[in-house]
Structure 1
Amino acid sequence: MTAPSEPKDADDMRHWWRTAIIDMAPGRIAFRGHPIQDLIGSVSFAQMIWLMVRGDMPTPEQAALFECALVAGVDHGPQAPSIAAARMAATCGLGLNNVIATGVNMLGDVHGGAGEQCAELYFDIAKRIDDGAEQDAAVSDGIAAWREEYGKIVSGFGHRFHKPVDPRAPRLMALVREAAKSGTVDGRFADIGEAVQAEIGRKRGTEIAMNIDGATAVIFCELGFPPPLSRGLFCLARSVGVLSHGWEQMQQGGRNKGPMPPRYLPEYVGVKSES
């Protein structure tokens, strides 16, 4: 088969969207050097995500721990703004792809971004330790620096519903500890995460939950993912819940459902009308 003629600036055009992720041409698809036909039926979805993002293939043990973090983050019910938004969108006549986009677009700095922020705190504490600080001092100073810049709430710790324990976090941390014993990870960020939890609890005088963001951030840090991917991977996992709830709401029906039933009206706090 003769290749079609190309303009003289073809190299510039190719460079425009250059990528090391996919090698695609008629009859050929390869991801990071792996032909798609070799990947199909041979790797899990979690392994495929790792390959796409990282460029290499995880060990089975790394993939198993990575998948645990993804599974834990899929859903938290309609109390979560991303899920509620998807369900409301489903009652507005949107298609499923628009429903998913609506939910995912609710994942911002506060809802969805806590994993990235928590990972940044963990890496800051790790750097302080590398620079010679004792762990307790590094944790205390790291938390103080965080609060000075971002406020009282430390991302990854505390939960509106789950007090004093987020049921997802202890299981994830136990799996990290198992992985550390087997040499899959070194357990450093598990130590840091638990130390942050203890320090916050000590200063407030009562226990505080490490939440899903704090625990998944430990896993992603242990596996070598930079902080922005702690957010991106959580958003990817939560997309499963967005899809599920959006589809369920489409089956249930309903028209233009708002955030609360019509019989409940928002409290009006403005100037009262005379009528």
Structure 2
Amino acid sequence: MPEKPNAPEYPTALGASSLDSITLLGQDLAADVMGEVGFGELAFWLATQRRPTSGETRVFEAVLAALADHGFTPTAITARLTYLSAPDSIQGAIAAGLLGGGSRFLGVTEDCGRFLHDALSTLENGHPTDETGWDELALATVRSRREARELIPGLGHHVHKQGDPRTPRLFQLATEEGLFGPHLSLFAAIGRVHPQVLGSTLPLNGAGVCGAALADLGLPLDLLRAFALLARTAGLIGQLAEEMRNPVANDIFLSVDLNNRAVPPHPADGGEASASG
């Protein structure tokens, strides 16, 4: 009788189950993880497959708290309106809110982390060793972005024009835990020197400082937005819980529906020419 071919194997260090146990990251889920490991610590561990130190967990969880909810942002409104339309699909409402996490909301965390990483990767002689050196690097970085007519991720906020309260707090926490690394150092220096180039003073925003902190924790750049979305998931659950208790989505919908105004069509540039052949 011919031998059966070997069954394929799919190795994973994450969750695995047997008849009488579940393992996660090499730990017994029931005995070693449940009730022993906080969710923020576990999220870090799952992403890196190394258990974070207590200091890393503190900074990481501070980032999650900073990004969890910002009120009636487009992502929150979208989630509430989706729930209004499909109350039978809580997953759809949460997914709709998460899909709005892009370059203007939430995506700044990733954009800033990448921007700082790219600037640091150009250094040939190591990182600066004092504030003067960081300021020189920051000036060169800001000037380069200005010459390229590109925005500086993490700089400016539409509400906190005099300073985002999350930024100094995260600087403080990272310093206390010995985790104020090169990304945060460069970000802080940009905050000090950018008026020399831009001619105005803008705040370092919370989304940007979160990206710098996550990069200093050694988390993969490709996952920085994912961590922002993880944080915002908790916020969206809160938004939907409040919507169930005190609904406002229908008022938002009606404020648009009852106040729309019909206007003649306005073809896009070239539209009339295209229509006429």
> Shorter-chain TM-score category?
0.7 to 0.9
How far residue 137 of structure 1 moved from its aligned partner, in angstroms, is 4.0
Does residue 172 in structure 1 map to residue 170 in structure 2? yes
Aligned partner of 1:245 in structure 2 is 239
How far residue 146 of structure 1 moved from its aligned partner, in angstroms, is 4.3
Does residue 8 in structure 1 map to residue 5 in structure 2? yes
In structure 2, relative to structure 1, the CA distance for the partners of 1:265 and 1:7 (3 Å cut) is farther
Does residue 119 in structure 1 map to residue 113 in structure 2? yes
For the 8 Å contact 1:47–1:63, the answer to whether it is kept is yes
RMSD: 2.7
CA offsets 1:44-70 (integer angstroms, 9 cap, x no match): 111111111110111112111111111
For the 8 Å contact 2:139–2:197, the answer to whether it is kept is no
In structure 2, relative to structure 1, the CA distance for the partners of 1:188 and 1:102 (3 Å cut) is same
How far residue 196 of structure 1 moved from its aligned partner, in angstroms, is 1.5
How far residue 147 of structure 1 moved from its aligned partner, in angstroms, is 5.2
Does residue 215 in structure 1 map to residue 209 in structure 2? yes
User: In structure 2, how many angstroms separate the alpha carbons of the residues matched to 1:209 and 1:84?
Assistant: 26
In structure 2, relative to structure 1, the CA distance for the partners of 1:260 and 1:145 (3 Å cut) is farther
In structure 2, relative to structure 1, the CA distance for the partners of 1:119 and 1:266 (3 Å cut) is farther
Aligned partner of 2:62 in structure 1 is 68
User: In structure 1, how many angstroms separate the alpha carbons of the residues matched to 2:230 and 2:47?
Assistant: 12
Aligned partner of 1:199 in structure 2 is 193
Does residue 139 in structure 1 map to residue 122 in structure 2? no
Comparing 248-257 and 194-203, the one that deviates more: 248-257
Does residue 128 in structure 1 map to residue 91 in structure 2? no
User: In structure 2, how many angstroms separate the alpha carbons of the residues matched to 1:196 and 1:267?
Assistant: 47
Question: Structure 1: 5+ residue runs without aligned partners?
Answer: 1-5
Q: 3-state DSSP class of the match of 1:30?
A: strand
Q: 3-state DSSP class of the match of 2:17?
A: strand
- Equivalent position amino acid for 1:48 in 2: L
For the 8 Å contact 2:79–2:94, the answer to whether it is kept is yes
Does residue 59 in structure 1 map to residue 38 in structure 2? no
Q: Which of 24, 44, 50 in structure 2 is aligned with 1:31?
A: 24
How many residues are treated as equivalent by the alignment? 257
Does residue 154 in structure 1 map to residue 152 in structure 2? yes
In structure 2, relative to structure 1, the CA distance for the partners of 1:171 and 1:259 (3 Å cut) is farther
CA offsets 1:65-96 (integer angstroms, 9 cap, x no match): 11111111100011x21111111112112321
CA offsets 1:150-178 (integer angstroms, 9 cap, x no match): x5422211111110211211211111122
- Equivalent position amino acid for 2:159 in 1: F
For the 8 Å contact 1:118–1:156, the answer to whether it is kept is yes
In structure 2, relative to structure 1, the CA distance for the partners of 1:264 and 1:54 (3 Å cut) is same
In structure 2, relative to structure 1, the CA distance for the partners of 1:131 and 1:270 (3 Å cut) is farther
In structure 2, relative to structure 1, the CA distance for the partners of 1:186 and 1:167 (3 Å cut) is closer
User: In structure 2, how many angstroms separate the alpha carbons of the residues matched to 1:110 and 1:227?
Assistant: 18
Q: 3-state DSSP class of the match of 1:213?
A: helix
In structure 2, relative to structure 1, the CA distance for the partners of 1:141 and 1:91 (3 Å cut) is same
Identity across matched positions, percent: 25
Q: 3-state DSSP class of the match of 2:219?
A: coil
Q: 3-state DSSP class of the match of 2:173?
A: helix
Comparing 134-143 and 86-95, the one that deviates more: 134-143
Aligned partner of 1:265 in structure 2 is 260
